[in-house]
Amino acid sequence: MSQVPASIDFRANAQQVPPKMPAAVQKATAKFLGTRAALVEALGNDFWQVLRQAGHDIRLHSILHMDHYLEQAERAVTAAGGHVHWATDAAAACGIVLDIARRHGVRLAVKSKSMATEEIGLNHALEAEGIRVLETDLGEYIVQLKGMGPAHIVVPAFHLSKEEIADLFREKLGVDAQPEAENLTQIARAKLREEFLAADLGISGGNFLIAETGTVITVTNEGNGRMCCTVPPVHVAVVGIDKVVPDWESLTVLLKLLARSATGQKLSCYTQFISGLPRASEETGPQEFHLVLVDNGRSRILRTPECRETSLCIRCGACLNICPVYNSVGGYTYGYPISGPTGAMFAPQILGGAAAGALPFASTLCGACNDICPVKIPITDILLHLRHRVVEGDEQEGRTAPYPLKVGAQIGAAAMSTPWLYRVGSQLLKRLQAPLVSEGWIAKLPPPLNRWTMSRPFPAFAADFRRWWRSRKAGC
């Protein structure tokens, strides 16, 4: 449903956050973090750390040998009666799905939850050609009715209350909806059932792609994914090339990590395995199966050693749940369907610094995301490298930061690394700030420095830091 803007203005988006949003987000993330923590405790932290390391090693091995495993997967899918398509970018991926849809005269496509299709803007591409696309994951269905994209990569509508959803159903579906989870689910279920039966095309994503058998794995908590993959006559799975893993043994480790980290479950309710066309003994399933493998910048991510572990991500959402920035501003502020720390790593590398250069700065670098990540991605190191890319440029991309920011950063760096300049500068700053300081804090800074003090006081510059440091060392 999402359409990514040409340039993401995180700061401006943050100003638009509805007042009730942070509390709703924090209530939901606290619940997920609580259930996750209980399961990790039950497993034992030592074993959990062993699992995390194994998950990291499997994913790293997979992406470093991606060419080999993708070709192996392609052979397996083809042998099982499926068709494999390679898409270099978002436009190519949408074009492939459109071609398939046109060939089959598709008028209605039903979709299970897929961040890859959000990333490439597939719904917009199909709808522009007159094909109706219906999201069938309950959360995605709700946000689609609202005309929005997902606010969280695992639980798209978790910021909405039952009352808000009941109002939405009354307004958009013309039904007498009650603000009760069961009633709302029944309404959506009845509406979606008719659509599943009428659909000409089913679209899914894929959490993993097993190279040895060409099997696409989808991990969900609702039966809609299974309906999308089995009821319509044609099924298209849109999968990022970084989702490939070598074998079923690897999968067992990753599934243990994913469900626990995402929703605090030992295993999700529905874990589907799609290997090409249905066998002769199977009663249901599509007559045609297409796997669209999407690059869209993933190869470029692999070419930068400092950033390549971005591709280990299994999209569990745990880093969103723990992130103080995400908890304060919610998912829409990121202006990209993949939000939170993982989106802050991924989006600038996919869209480029000119469009998404603000996102690596949307982090306190507290490191909570590193600690919770089930595949041990060094998220803050990658964000720091991306900040450096934005300001200085690197071998992948030139500088995209405005010139004054670069000059300001250079002056700051020079002052911090030249003792006499630091001394003179700090004395000057001490005098300049004196009229504004009260009990060690500055309540209001003048423009253009006032962004911080719009919402909180700023600590006064500690001009005596060097003296304090010397006295501390002398006392040791």
**Least Å from the CB of residue 333 to ligand SF4:** 17
Provide the minimum distance between the beta carbon of 411 and ligand SF4 in the complex, in angstroms, as a whole number: 34
DSSP letter at 401 equals S
Six-digit token pair at 5?
């803007």
Task: Compute CA 96 distance to the chain's CA centroid, rounded to the nearest angstrom.
Answer: 24
Give 96 or 345: the residue with its C-beta nearer to ligand SF4.
345
Residues that bind ligand SF4 (CB under 6 A): 261, 313-319, 341-342, 372-375, 377, 379
Separation of alpha carbons 88 and 99, rounded Å = 16
Which residues face 135 on adjacent strands?
111
- Please report how close the Cβ of residue 394 comes to ligand SF4 at its closest, in angstroms: 21
Neighbours of 101 (CB within 10 A): 23
CB of 337 to ligand SF4, least distance (A): 13
| Residue 368: CB minimum distance to ligand SF4, A | 10
The gap between the terminal CA atoms of the chain, to the nearest Å, is 60
Report the nearest approach of ligand SF4 to the CB of residue 103 (Å): 35
What is the rounded distance in angstroms from the CA atom of residue 260 to the CA atom of residue 267?
Answer: 7
59 and 312 in contact (C-beta within 8 Å)? yes
Tell me the closest approach of the beta carbon of residue 346 to ligand SF4, in angstroms. 9
In the bound state with ligand SF4, the residue whose beta carbon lies nearer, of 29 and 275, is 29
Q: Select 257 or 442, whichever has its Cβ closest to ligand SF4.
A: 257
Query: Whose Cβ is closer to ligand SF4: residue 312's or residue 401's?
Result: 312
Which parts of 215-337 fold into alpha helices (H)? Answer: 224-230, 248-263, 298-303, 318-322, 324-329
Helices (H) and strands (E) in the chain, counts: 22, 13
Taking the least distance from each CB to ligand SF4, the nearer of 120 and 316 is 316
DSSP-assigned letter for residue 473: H
Say how many C-beta atoms besides its own lie within 10 A of residue 188's C-beta. Answer: 23
Whichever of 87 and 377 has its CB closer to ligand SF4, that residue is 377
Q: With the C-alpha atoms ordered 378, 381, 383, 386, is the resulting torsion angle positive or negative?
A: negative
- The strand pairing partners of 346, in sequence order, are none
Nearer to ligand SF4, 215 or 339 (CB): 339
